[in-house]
Structure formats: C-alpha cells, structure tokens
Amino acid sequence: MTIPSIELIDQNNQLIFADTLDGRTISLGRDREGNDILVPCASASRVHGRIVGNEKQGYYYEDCSLNGSTLGQKVIKAEKVRLTHGTVIGIGTYRLVYTQCSTNQKNVVRVQKTMATTLAPNHSAGFELSFTSKNKKNGLTKTINIKKEYFSIGTTTDCNAVVDDFEPQIVIKIINNRAFIEARGQGVRINGWEMEARPVQLDHQDCIAVADWVLTTNLDYGADTKGYPYKIITQNKKMKWLVTKIGTYSRFDEPVMILGETGTGKELFANAIHQASGRKNKPFVVINTATIEKNLAASILFGHDKNSFTGSGTGKSGLVVSADGGTLFLDELAELTPEIQAMLLRTVQYGEVRPVGSNLVKHVNVRLISATNKPINRVLCRDDNGFRDDLFYRLAVKVIELPPLRSRVEDICCLMDHFMELAKAKYTFLPKDLCYAEKAYQEAKNYSWPGNVRELSNACMSAIMDTNQKQVTGIITPAIKAFLNQSTTIPEHLRRFYEKTKAQHDIDVVCSKLGISRATYYRYKREVGEGD
C-alpha cells in the first residue's frame, strides 16, 4: 500500500511542511485567507494553485496563478498536470514535491519547523474560537464568535463586539493559526493572573475577567495543531512529566515549593497549578519578596490598622488577604526576613492574618505556593541565610524542581518559534512569514543560556528587532558572540569565571569556588557581556 503525500521545501532546501493526501482539495498561495497551505513567497500569487483528485483517479496540480508555476524547465499557466511519484512543482522560490511511498518506507506526518506555513484561521483544519461571556452582576450571558484575524471587544462603537460596562478593551489576534489576547489597559485577568502589556496565547477554557464580565474561551485548534497544556511549551521528557503532575497537585490545598534557576518558569508552573484547581476563578496573587522594602514588609503583606504607624492614614488589608479564596505565590522565598517568616508561619498553619497595630485576627483561605532559586540544602541552612526550618517544612509539603534550559535542548527551537509568534501578535507590522534560519536554531542550541528561558526570550526579541530580512539569521548577542570568539585574548580569570557560571548560577557558590567577592562577581559578569 502506498501513501500519497506532499512536501513544501524552501529556497534553503529546508522541509517546512509535509502532509498526506486524503482526497480533499488543497489550495496553496501567499494569501492567509482561503488557502490550506501558506507559501510565504512574494512571487507566489494569492491563490497560486490547487491539488485535486483522489487515490482512485489520481492527483493533479492545477495552476491558478498570474506568473505560472514550473514543472522542470516548463512553465505551466492555467494548466492541470497529473502528479506522479517524484513530481516537483516550482512555486516562486519554493518547491512542492509529490511522493508515493509504501507504509514501511516513510511515515509522513504534518510537520512545521518554523510555523511559517500554518494558516490562520484555516477552516479545513477545524479552527474555531468563541467566548461565552457572563456578567457577574446581572447574570446576563452572551456568545461572542471570533471571525477575523483582528477582533476587538469593548464598550466603544468602533469595537467588533460592543459590550456594555466592558472596560478596559481587549483585542484578539489570530496569527499563524494561534489565538492571542492582548489587554488595552489595566485590570484584565486571565486564569486569575493579572495580564501584562504583551499578548498571551489562548487555550480552551481559559477564563478572562474584565470588570463585571467573565469570558470563557471555546477554542478548537483542529487536529493538525498540537497545543501545550497550561501554556508550558516543552518537548522535554522530564518537563512533560512535571506538567502531568500539575493536575494531581491542583486537587489538594497543601503548600507546594518550586525550585529552579532564575528564568526557568517557576511562576508559570505556580499559575498552572492555580489554573487547574478549583480556585482558578479566584485571585492569583504574586509577591516577589525580594522587591519589598523590609520596613514595610509586614504592612504590605498582612495589612495595617488606621493610624497604626506614622503616615499610615486609613487601614489596609494587605496582599495576603487580597488572595483570600485563591492562590498566594511567594517568589524569592529565601529573601523573607525572620520577623516576616514568624508572621507567615501562623498564616500557613492556621490561616491567620494579624494586621500591623491590630489586636484582631483575620482568617483567610489561601493556597500557598512558594519558589526559590536556592538549592534545598542552602534553604535549610539557618546559620547561612536565616531561614526558619519550621516554616520551610510547612511550605515544602510537595517540592517541584524545574530543570535549566541547558538540560532541555529539545525545547529551544519550539520556544523560539513561540516567541516569534508572540512578537508577530504584538507588532502587526512584522512580516507574517518572518521566521528563523536554520543557522539561528543551531546557534541557540549550542549556547548554554545561563538566564534560561527569560534570556532566550529577550535574545529572540533582540534578534527580531535587528533583522530587516524575511529570516532571522542569528540570536546570540554581539557581546556574548565576541566573548565566545576570542580564543587567545581572554584573561584566564574571566575564562574560569565563565566556565563556572555556565554550570552554576548560585552567586555564593561561584564566589566561594573562585575566592571572589560579590562585587567582583558582578564586575566579571559585565566584562563577559552578561551583566545588566
């Protein structure tokens, strides 16, 4: 038995799309609307050609273009040619190859290296998106169907969907068969998480809260597009296993501690646990303890009574109380002072919050998730960083350790593609067929990424900003590239420092092994091009 299939190959001989044929008509062209396969080539027509036929009658290529297609040395225009094994059709600088392979020769699957040829919205792929909206005040419900690549929802008449008391405005963008949401103002929450200015990719059953409205997504990407649970993009075996455990841990209200280097996605995992739990429609409050002024930490976290201290004015409830019913995420846990640790201990054990200057105790129902970039043995070492053992044991009921990016190399390419799609969703002036060259992928896979996913994200955006072509040819910053290319002029002390920081990102450990101070550490980091 043979399997008829097609492959689309770009000018660099890179396979960017492959699929089996099942008798349906397939159209190709540079227009995103109405085509099954996008050919990102300026010389291709909007609808350049079609593949028609079936296994019994055979398959044919039908040219529909203005400039024609090529078959060998011959130009075919408004013609219909029969496809046989090995037929190559030229469409601009791209080649369409038809093959018939036996089942044991080739297992043809739909592939997409750069995501440049996936369509939006491709109805033949089953892409459908709508919102079920409900007003919490009056119970009014309505369905909003998304039928355009750019769809706005708000109160003004220029919006595609006008909804009363819907502020701020949100915009839905469909880019390369992916749906993104962007908030035009503050106060939009997705799955309990406050949205930032950048777009967020939508998944099925995402919950978006705007003013008194709650929107639930009804999203079907179709069989041809594989999604990532909880927006955690990974192909790594260990990471996939950790993602499967999210559903298990979300059923309990016990504290979870997430360990991992800076930039590995600890907050993303914490939000995923919240999203999968019964608390997903309640607040997800993030507290970065390293950024809180120590003198005000108790007031910021636990609130204060009126006139409890100079300048306090009116009373305030605090961040812990604001998370009541939802999830409280404590980032940079090891930065908590001993005084705050003692106050937090009562909250963890008994759900008690005592505001500064008050004799009354408030009771809260929060799920506590904490994170630290320090190894467990350092967190437990009281003499070293002053962290209470009793608090640690209460917070570390379940411990998740996220691997660094350098140990999940298989994720680098799909993360790069994701960041490219986010850039296109945010900046609509970028070419829709903008993609990475194979050189950029290889360059990224050969680098250690000490800043992990956060560093990769910033490097991708930097490269996109610098490119003025249809392909991004490299993403390593010039400072790092210059350092890596200097084989003989690098001082030995900087070479040793670079090698240590590639494998170990705990500042104190690096300083101890190299016998340097923290000030020297940051100076060396600037010299090797990795400082702020």
Instruction: Kindly list the averaged pLDDT for each block of 10 residues, start to end, along the chain of length 532.
Output: 82 74 86 75 84 90 90 89 91 88 46 32 55 88 84 84 85 79 86 80 86 87 60 89 91 92 91 89 86 81 72 74 92 85 88 84 92 66 64 90 91 90 84 85 86 90 85 76 54 70 71 80 72 50
Place of tokens 């290296």: 113
Last residue of a domain, which of 401, 435, 465? 401
Q: How far apart are CA 313 and CA 89, in angstroms?
A: 76
User: What six digits make up the tokens of 215?
Assistant: 């929107």
C-alpha pair distances (Å), 341 with each of 266, 333, 381: 21, 10, 15
DSSP tag of 289? G
pLDDT given at position 531: 53
CATH label of the domain that carries residue 31: 2.60.200.20
Residues 266 and 330 in one domain: yes
Let me know if residue 229 belongs to a domain.
no
Q: Which domain holds residue 394?
A: 237-401
**Phi, psi (deg, nearest 5) at residue 424:** -65, -35
Q: How many residues does the chain have?
A: 532
Half-sphere exposure of 29 (CA within 13 A, CB side): 20
User: What six digits make up the tokens of 430?
Assistant: 């970028």
Residues 349 and 454 in one domain: no
Let me know if residue 109 belongs to a domain.
no
pTM value?
Answer: 0.62
Q: How many independent structural domains does the chain possess?
A: 5
Last residue of a domain, which of 401, 422, 443? 401
In the β-sheet with 256-259, what is the strand arrangement from edge to edge?
284-288, 327-331, 367-372, 256-259, 398-401
Residues 279 and 311 in one domain: yes
**Phi, psi (deg, nearest 5) at residue 471:** -135, 145
Last residue of a domain, which of 190, 220, 250? 220
DSSP tag of 316? B
